[in-house]
Amino acid sequence: MPQLSPQATRSLHANTPLLAALLPTCKNLNSARNELRWIREHVWSSTLAPQFQNIPEAKDNDEKSKNALLHRLCSLRGRGYPLQYILGTQPFGQLEIKCRPGVLIPRPETEAWTMHLADIVRKTWRAGKVKKDNDIESNLRILDLCTGSGCIALLLYSILNRKFPKMHVRGLDIEPRAVSLAKENLAYNIERGSLRQRNANAVSFEETNIFSTDWLVPVLEQAGLINNLRFKQSELKRGAVDILVSNPPYISQEGFDRDTEPSVRDHEPRLALVPEPSADNSPYATVLPEDVFYARILDVAKVLQPRFVVLEVGDLAQAVRVVQMARERCRNAKEAEIWRDWPDMKPSEGEPESVDVAGVTVPVRGGGNGRAVFLR
């Protein structure tokens, strides 16, 4: 058995209480070691999330204070506090997305379907499968509903803006903290050099309740589809936006209480995860509570008539329900697919490659759990 050097022995003993503090959340030692390394690096480089930069232990730059802060953060993380809220950022494609309490943390599965969508968009236009009307070759319009941190909108822009130099991406969210953080993420990634905004209006984020109708009028007017403030369905043409994406609240109240991890349940914003119950007189009162956002977004898609729609979902069963709703509400959608967590991977043994939705065979792409519905 090899003998540890004195330095390695001291390091092991010094790290033992920190690793022990992290293990209740990290589950295994390798994960705990990685998280300890990341937290230590941020502590010693003073790049922690803003809420930890003004606490007493962070104000002094001596070794004792740094170690005290390290112990405090490891203990906090071990009690389920999200790592991204401690470090302050989460990688998302080539971007760094700032994370803050009150705004949902970006997930790797969301990153995977966003990049898969961008690849489809590039291949579709490259193959000439979309008519180049209205200067679409450069004027791509993307609408991101329930944008949160802005991660989807910003990643799509960063990947596609070279192909579509006049593209415009607009993100909407009801939560002011989310809109503020999305704007901050735009500025932050421009400053880092990982995102180039070709003009001041290329990417925008706004506070909006998507269940209202007021915000739809400017979208239609901007697209040149209506000329007055009272739009009529008969006046609309295809393409007020080209791509509509959303990662909306999609967890039932029971599922939130029963199935979510404590770190999510105790620390991430409920508003971004659980839809509010519909009023009895709402047009969505008969829809399952966890599906109400999909019903609304599909009604919006019927008005805006995008070329592509991608909606993140919670599982395969919900994906099937969303496809069924899309067939009922958006009859112009010619094609539907369900994407799993990793849409570019081959499905594992036992994962079906298609599902039946009311007598129609719908492809299921990739491996993992049901994660997104794609409509074309």
Band of pLDDT at residue 336, cut at 50, 70 and 90: very high
Closest CA to 141 of 238, 235, 234, 210: 238
Residues contacting residue 184 through CB under 8 Å, at least 6 positions apart: 98
Res. 239: pLDDT tops 90 = no
pLDDT tens per residue, range 196-235: 887 888 999 999 999 998 888 777 766 665 544 444 443 3
Q: Is the pLDDT of residue 90 over 90?
A: yes
Those residues whose C-beta lies under 8 Å from the C-beta of residue 316, and which sit 6 or more positions away, are 338, 355, 364, 369, 370
Please state which of the ranges 91-105, 133-147, 309-323 shows the lowest mean pLDDT.
Answer: 133-147
Binned at pLDDT 50, 70 and 90, residue 28 comes out as: confident
Residue 121 in contact with residue 258, Cβ under 8 Å?
no
Separation between Cα atoms, residue 123 and residue 135, nearest integer Å: 17
Q: How confident is the model at residue 128 (pLDDT cuts 50, 70, 90)?
A: low
Separation between Cα atoms, residue 170 and residue 141, nearest integer Å: 8
> Residues 130, 239: contact at Cβ < 8 Å?
no
The structural domains of the chain, ordered by start, are 6-87 (no CATH), 91-375 (3.40.50.150)
The pLDDT tens digits of the residues spanning 346-358 come to 999 999 999 999 8
Q: Tokens representing 240? A: 């007020």
Q: β-strand 308-312 against 89-92: which pairing, if any?
A: unpaired
Tokens for 141, please give them.
Answer: 């319009």
pLDDT of residue 137: 52
| Contact yes or no for 151/110 (Cβ under 8 A) | yes
What was the pLDDT predicted at 15? 74
**pLDDT average, residue stretch 88-99:** 97
**β-bridge mates for residue 205, sequence order:** 171
Report the candidate in 67, 80, 95, 113 with the shortest Cα–Cα distance to residue 261.
80
Q: Where are the alpha helices (DSSP H) in the chain?
A: 6-26, 29-45, 56-59, 63-78, 83-87, 108-126, 151-160, 176-192, 216-222, 253-259, 262-267, 292-304, 316-329
pLDDT score of 331 more than 80 = no
Q: Is the pLDDT of residue 97 over 90?
A: yes
Give the per-residue pLDDT at 218. 75
Note the pLDDT tens digit of each residue in 149-175.
Answer: 999 999 999 999 989 999 999 999 999
- Joined tokens for residue 254: 């029971």
CA distance 78 to 72: 10
